[in-house]
Structure 1
Amino acid sequence: MRGARRERYARDEVLTAALFLLPALAVIGVFVVYPIVAAGQISLTSWNGFDPVKEFIGFDNYVRLFNDPEFWNSLLVTCVYAVGVCVLSVATGLAIALLLDAPLRGRGFYRGIYFLPAVTSSVAAAIVWKYMLDPAGFVNGLLALVGIDGPDWLQDRWLALGALTALTVWKNLGFNAILYLTALQALPQGVFEAAQLDGAGFWHRLRHLTIPLLAPMTFFVVVQALITSFQAFDLVYVLTGGGPQGGTEVLGMLMYREAFRLGDFGYGTSIAFVTLALVLGVSLVNWRVSGAGKSSLR
């Protein structure tokens, strides 16, 4: 009798949960799942974006993709860019969060200042940086004051990629700092007080307590940085346009050029799907390696 009653209650709970989840699942299905499936179908066709007939060509776009040197160049550029963005996002975000968590006067003001880049228009920020990095711009002007002849930042492959990386990190600095600051304030203070009583200094506590305890948030920041890097387009388009000579042509720029400039939507969509697979694969590997979701205290 009790077993039947428990089974009925369990069934009622499942039905109630399904009823509440149905609107959200419907929205996800219409605006997420369906577009992904439709894009997957387009990637198997040869289509210019206007012709009502989409010629089915199977996996020819993917075969062409893996034999395309421009794709491999874009993949290399994107990977270098993503690594730089991930490392610097974690380092700068944590450093700023530690400073903002310190007992400073006017912390609210500083928090607002650091968050300003996150709410600044990406196009406006890229335009300002482009003028600053001009050969006669602000950065080279500062270097000239100390007797250094500044380079043409955006006409050198690696300097341009470094500038793009720095711009991306600066743009998301406030967001990453707030994430780390929130995680820092949620850490168990008793553990730090006990370590301090045992004679552990700041750097020892940072290395053996703070950083391990922040592993789940670090994983989140890294995944966000990866997604930002692999989806990068607006900053790249305005700052460098993918140049010089493909030195900053990330996968998003290659996809845009193939689909919207050259009118090959099938090939452009196949680039998008490979990008999606790469992001998912790297995120899963990082999840396994970092042990996110597991306790860092032993």
Structure 2
Amino acid sequence: MTQVRSTPPGREQSRPGGPRWWTARRRDHLAGFLFAAPQLAGTALFVLLPLGLMFWYSLHDWNVLAGGFTWTGGENYERLAQDPALPGVLRATAAFSIGLVALNLSLALVLAILLDQKLRGTVVFRTIFFSPVAVTLVAWTIVWRFLLQDDGGVNGLLSVVGAEGPNWLRGEATAMASVIVVQVLKNVGLNMVLFLAALQGVPRELYEASTIDGAGAWTRFRRITMPMISPTILLTSIITVVGSLQVFAQIDVLTSGGPGTSTTVLVYYLYQNAFQFHDFGYGATLSVLLFAIVLVLTVIQWQMRRKWVVHED
């Protein structure tokens, strides 16, 4: 009888004629690293390297026009802590982010629920609400800048019903509200589609069983719909929060940070210091602050998922 010799785990035989260390496991590992190499290289080149340079530049006084690049250590961070304009910038950033996230997510969820009712014409309305997502951001914002002027289309519609509208982009309260609404109308279709896909994935048997048990519409929404689509709510909330902290083109085209500094959010204040005042060192310091805020908010949202996202433990 011929004995069959088994190979111990982790000691695969190499190919005949090849080196003994070139095992099948090592070949698999090399193939995996080669497939992941482009993504790793892109992350290192376009994420990690800019982050490192951002921290490095924040430690210098860099004026491009004067040609100076001087080590200052923590002076830019001391300046950041004493900047008299920073509290107002942070308040404007918080107002914009809170207003945008609340209005965007709530409107997107309402639209998704309405479109999930299988009524006639839902495809047309879905296209109408999603089409602004495909429109160029600057073109969309320029159109709304003309519509929101004192003699623009919005006030023209109000005059038809006998109402007189303000100059929306010249009042502190109305300017911030206008920027928020324009941004919500631009991107609400994306979250609407995500919510609609999540709603269509909820088993209909759950609604039928709850209806038999006597549950009303609000109870079904609170006890079935919200828990089942909670992973999508987490995803859209993270995307929307991060996007709200990176708004620039809308502010620049609509208000240029005004009136006064009422719509000067952190990203626009960063742009002003770096590219208008040519103080790239302090601009990099503001970038560090923005990175820290985004990181903290993302971590908080990710940690909260265990409390309100279904199937998380």
- Regarding TM over 0.5, the answer is yes
1:212 aligns with 2:227: yes
Q: CA deviation at 1:277?
A: 0.7
Aligned to 1:40: 55
With over 3 angstroms needed to count, the CA separation of the structure-2 counterparts of 1:121 and 1:292, relative to structure 1, is farther
Of all paired residues, the percent bearing the same amino acid is 35
1:187 aligns with 2:205: no
Question: For 1:9 and 1:196, how far apart are their aligned partners in 2?
Answer: 57
What's the secondary structure of 1:245's corresponding residue? coil
Aligned to 1:176: 191
Q: CA deviation at 1:91?
A: 0.4
Aligned to 2:277: 262
CA offsets 1:229-253 (integer angstroms, 9 cap, x no match): 1111001100111000100001111
1:128 to 128, 140, 143: 143
What amino acid sits opposite 1:267 in the alignment?
Answer: Y
**Residues 212, 296 of structure 1: 8 Å contact kept:** no
RMSD: 2.3
What's the secondary structure of 1:23's corresponding residue? helix
Gaps of 5+ in 2: 1-6, 13-22
Q: CA deviation at 1:39?
A: 1.7
Gaps of 5+ in 1: none
Aligned to 1:273: 288
- Please list, as runs of the form range in 1=range in 2, the aligned pairs for 1:188-267 lying within 5 A after superposition: 188-267=203-282
1:81 to 96, 101, 112: 96
1:17 aligns with 2:32: yes
Q: CA deviation at 1:297?
A: 9.3
CA offsets 1:268-291 (integer angstroms, 9 cap, x no match): 111111111101101111222243
Aligned to 2:46: 31
With over 3 angstroms needed to count, the CA separation of the structure-2 counterparts of 1:24 and 1:113, relative to structure 1, is same
Q: CA deviation at 1:2?
A: 4.5
Question: For 1:168 and 1:54, how far apart are their aligned partners in 2?
Answer: 38
**Residues 213, 296 of structure 1: 8 Å contact kept:** no
Aligned to 1:56: 71
Q: CA deviation at 1:193?
A: 2.7
Question: For 2:31 and 2:228, how far apart are their aligned partners in 1?
Answer: 36
Question: For 1:215 and 1:294, how far apart are their aligned partners in 2?
Answer: 5
Question: Which structure has the highest helix share of the two?
Answer: 1
CA offsets 1:124-166 (integer angstroms, 9 cap, x no match): 2212212222122222223233333322211111111011111
Q: CA deviation at 1:168?
A: 0.9
1:117 to 115, 132, 136: 132
TM-score by length of 2: 0.87
With over 3 angstroms needed to count, the CA separation of the structure-2 counterparts of 1:43 and 1:111, relative to structure 1, is same
1:105 aligns with 2:126: no
TM-score by length of 1: 0.91
